Amino acid sequence: MRAYAGLFRRELLLAVRQGGEIGLVLGFFVLAVVLFPLGVGPEAEVLRRIGAGIVWVAALLAAVLSLDRLFAADYADGTLDLLALSAMPLEGVAAAKCAAHWATTGLPLTLISPCLAALVDLEAQATVLLALGLLIGTPALSLLGAIVAALTLGARRPGILSSLLVLPLYLPVLIFGAGAVEAGIAGTGARPHLLLLGAVTVAALPLAPVAAAAALRQALD
């Protein structure tokens, strides 16, 4: 656990020192949500109906932008080889990097989502469900993204390949997250959607680090 905590702190410090990447992700998230009302029109009813989907799609795309910093830099400078030779298993390395990625990407996206919900005219209850869904679902984005980031290490154009591979994996998170808000607005109950969203995250929590570690071993061989 000490090695895990040390790697987690290292990833956080690197993310803070390279604050431009975090700013890029958050800036893209904000701009994507701001541009949607300009494209579909200012009608409150239309925005209220599609607002949750707008925020969730923007969050997914913002998460895709940040996948390159999971393993690419350590792979390029040889740090990943040293981590593979250390006593800490690669599964723990992948888990620590996923946790740091969520803390610097998923958590900030969740925290600013209520402000963006006001731009798409979501009501207070829908805003709470949106933030709760992002809090539950964004860890799954980091975990599933780590698998794809590990698989595309060494690829000629990893960014494009990562987008093509990871977006289908993100579909359940998008469906259940946006569905929770829509169900809350319709009065049919958001609890089933939130439980399914939580199930995706809980399932990815033990499985994604194992899959990512297997892909890292293949990339390092």
Mean pLDDT by 10 residues, the chain (221 residues): 81 77 86 83 76 89 85 81 84 90 91 88 88 94 91 74 85 92 86 94 94 88 75
Q: How many CB atoms lie within 10 A of CB 45?
A: 8
Angle, vertex CA 165, rays to CA 159 and CA 167, nearest 5:
95
* Half-sphere CA count of 51, side-chain side, radius 13 A: 28
What was the pLDDT predicted at 159? 67
Residue 177 pLDDT: 92
The answer to whether the CB of 116 falls within 8 A of the CB of 130 is no
Q: What is the pLDDT of residue 19?
A: 64
Neighbours of 175 (CB within 10 A): 16
The 10 Å Cβ neighbour count of residue 53 is 18
- Nearest of 136, 192, 144, 142 to residue 168 by alpha carbon: 144
Q: How far is CA 200 from CA 46, 78, 114, 175, 188, in A?
A: 29, 33, 23, 11, 21
DSSP state of 121: T
**Residues 130 and 109 sit within 8 Å (Cβ to Cβ):** no
> pTM for the whole thing?
0.89
pLDDT of 138 reads 93
End-to-end CA distance of the chain: 27
Query: What's the confidence (pLDDT) of residue 48?
Result: 78
124: nearest Cα among 48, 42, 179:
48
**What's residue 121's pLDDT?**
80
Q: Residue 158: what pLDDT?
A: 66
